[in-house]
Amino acid sequence: MRVLPPLLRRKPAVAVLMCVPLFALILGLVAYPFFHALFLATLNKAETAFVGLDNFTFLFGRQTFWMVVRQSLLFALVAVVFKALIGLAAAHAINTIPTKGQRKWRGMMLIPWVIPPALSTLGWWWLFEPTYSAINWGLTKFALPAVPWLSDTFWARFSIILVNVWVGAPFFLIMYLAALKSIPGELYEAADMDGAGPWQKFFYITLPMIRNIIAITTLFSIIVTLANFDIVRVLTQGGPLNSTHLFATYAFRVGIESGDIPLGAAVSLFMFPMLAILAFIILRNVRRRAASLA
């Protein structure tokens, strides 16, 4: 038996060398900025003096900040639920029709997810424009009242969620469709033999089989939605009266636009505990799946 040249498996130096750029990137532009953010958050506005936790206690005392917290959570939860439901319904519908036409339908439905969100939101902004709103034109044709899409707190929040669902539902569609396709067809045939109806098949075969992917996709989407910036920034800039601000847009307003970098860093950092918990659950999930594969 030939002995392999001791080239590959025994050369950690080469292996480490190949990872150096990646390591440098993570260390220099992710880990270091994170610790620098922690440091920044303890400074005063001019960044000349250490103020401890004053930035945080200042935020805790502000009503606006609590509104941002509530709005971010409400936004993320409601948007993710609707994205998941629409994605699941659309994936299920595509999976029902003959295979020949599936690609075409899927392609059409992925368009919102392909357009850069900042740009498609411009289109929505125009659809919501108070005087010219083409949606309101349609509503009044059906004798419905025109809606103050972006100027009323409730409707502004509604609009932000609507646009986020529009952008994000296709991602769920893709993940669910791939999951549905991985379910063995024999399971459904067996269920047919036993006389199961479509709802029974859905609840007793489909859902349990794709439960894992629903979980991972949902957790991942909560992270992305909670950290959203583009939609709110283009559509309402946080208004009316700061009622649609999310952590990211509020941090941008405070940190970049008002020039209080330490306070902005503090606002951003509030996302971290939530993201860390979600990331921990995802990682455990992914690890468990990897272990069950090996």
Partner 1 sequence: MTAIPFATAPSLRSNRRWALIAAYACLGIFVIFFLFPPYYMLVTSLKTNAEIAELASNPWIVTDGVTFGHYEHLLTESSFPRFFLNTTIVTVIVVAITMVISVLAAYSLARLRFWGSGVLATGVFLTYLVPDTLLFIPLFKIVGWLGLLDTYWSLILVYPTLTVPFCTWIMIGYFGSIPRELDEAALIDGANHLQMLLKVFIPVALPGLIAATIFAFTVSWANFLYPLAYIYSESEMVLTVGTVTTLIKGDVFHWGGLMAGALLAAAPPVILYAFLMDYYIAGLTSGATKG
User: Under rule CB under 8 A, which residues in 183-202 are in contact with partner 1?
Assistant: 192, 195, 197-198
Choice from 155, 158, 188, 272 touching partner 1 (CB under 8 A): 272
Contact between 279 and partner 1 (CB under 8 A)? yes
Please report, as residue ranges, which positions from 103 to 122 form the binding site for partner 1 (by CB under 8 A). 105, 107-112, 114-120, 122
Q: Minimum Å distance from CB 196 to partner 1?
A: 10
Closest CB to partner 1 among 170 and 238? Answer: 170
When binding is defined by CB under 8 A, the residue of 67, 69, 93, 205 that contacts partner 1 is 93
Residue 126 interacts with partner 1 (CB under 8 A)?
yes
**Could you say whether residue 36 binds partner 1 (CB under 8 A)?**
yes
The tokens of 107 are what? 């392609």
Binds partner 1 (CB under 8 A): choice among 52, 138, 184, 208: 138
Interface with partner 1 by CB under 8 A: which range of 34-42, 57-65, 76-84, 143-151? Answer: 34-42
To the nearest whole angstrom, how small is the minimum distance from the Cβ of residue 82 to partner 1? 11
CA angle, residues 208, 114, 211, in degrees to nearest 5: 5
Q: Which stretch binds partner 1 (CB under 8 A): 48-56, 77-85, 94-102, 153-161?
A: 94-102
User: Which residue in 71, 217, 236, 242 binds partner 1 (CB under 8 A)?
Assistant: 217
Number of Cβ within a 10 Å radius of residue 6: 8
User: 60, 55, 62: which is closest to 41 by C-alpha?
Assistant: 55
Q: What is the smallest separation between the CB atom of 52 and partner 1, expressed in angstroms?
A: 19
Least CB distance to partner 1 at residue 186 (A): 16
Residues 43-82 that bind partner 1 (CB under 8 A): none
| N-terminal to C-terminal alpha carbon distance within the chain | 28
- Per CB under 8 A, does 244 bind partner 1? no
175 binds partner 1 (CB under 8 A): yes
Out of 152, 187, 223, 237, point to the residue binding partner 1 (CB under 8 A): 223
DSSP the chain: -PPPPTTSTT-HHHHHHHHHHHHHHHIIIIIHHHHHHHHHTTB-TTS-SB-TTHHHHHHHT-HHHHHHHHHHHHHHHHHHHHHHHHHHHHHHHHHHS-HHHHHHHHHHHTHHHHS-HHHHHHHHHHHT-TTT-HHHHHHHHTTPPP--TTTSHHHHHHHHHHHHHHHHHHHHHHHHHHHHHTS-HHHHHHHHHTT--HHHHIIIIIHHHHHHHHHHHHHHHHHHHHT--HHHHHHTTT-STTTT--HHHHHIIIIIIS--HHHHHHHHHTHHHHHHHHHHHHHHHHHHHHHHH-
Sole binder of partner 1 in the list 224, 237, 239, 240 (CB under 8 A): 224
**Total residues at the site for partner 1 (CB under 8 A)?**
105
Applying CB under 8 A, which of residues 56, 65, 75, 124 lies at the interface with partner 1?
A: 124
